[in-house]
Structure formats: structure tokens, C-alpha cells
Amino acid sequence: MAGANQLPKETTFNFRLDPELKLEFTAAADADHQPAAEVLRRFMRSYVEQKRRRAFEAEAHRQSLAIAARAADRKSDERAAMEELDAELERDAFSAEWKA
């Protein structure tokens, strides 16, 4: 028996739409031999994943800008780390490729 805190396997999502859009969407799904409900589920999953990806990218960008700002401060640990990395790359036989 499922625990009290588990979500049901499926739930219903009701919404209104234009009858012509419903007819066209259903026909398009039928033409692809896909149940309309499954196509909608894929759209929803894709939308949610897209939102997650954009949130991740925005956070990564924010962190990159913050690190770049700290690296610009000559007294910061980030600046020292970047200078060490630059020095290592200069010693590397492939330094020209890294800087290209």
C-alpha cells in the first residue's frame, strides 16, 4: 500500500481551449499516430526542463560574473588562482593553443 505522503501516479489537468485548436491539435496528433494526451505530456515535460535549464544558466552566469569581479580585485584569492593558472599555461608547450 502506498504511503500517505506519496503523490498519486496520475492526476487530471483540465483547461479551456478554442474548439478549432483542439480539433487541429487532435488531428495533428492522430496524423503522427500519437495520443494527444501523450503529446501534451511531452510538451509539458519539455517546458519544465527548459525552465530548469534557463534557471541553471542564469545562476551560472551570475556566479561567473561574481567570480570575474572578484578576480579583478588584485588582493583576491580568485585573482591569485587565475595568475597561477596563467603561469602554468605559459609553461605548457601548448600555451599558444590555449590562448587562441
Instruction: State phi, psi for 6 to the nearest 5 degrees.
Output: -85, 145
Full-model pTM: 0.62
* Domain ranges within the chain, ordered by starting residue: 19-91
Higher pLDDT, 85 or 3: 85
The stretch 48-70 carries a mean pLDDT of: 94
Under 8 Å between Cβ of 64 and 56: no
Q: Can you tell me which residue has the cell 487541429?
A: 24
Looking at every residue in the chain, the average pLDDT score rounds to 87
Buried b (16+ CB within 10 A) or exposed e, 71-82: beeeeeeeeeeb
Identify the band that residue 6 occupies on the pLDDT scale cut at 50, 70 and 90: confident
What is the per-residue pLDDT for 21?
97
The answer, yes or no, to whether residue 1 has pLDDT greater than 60, is: no
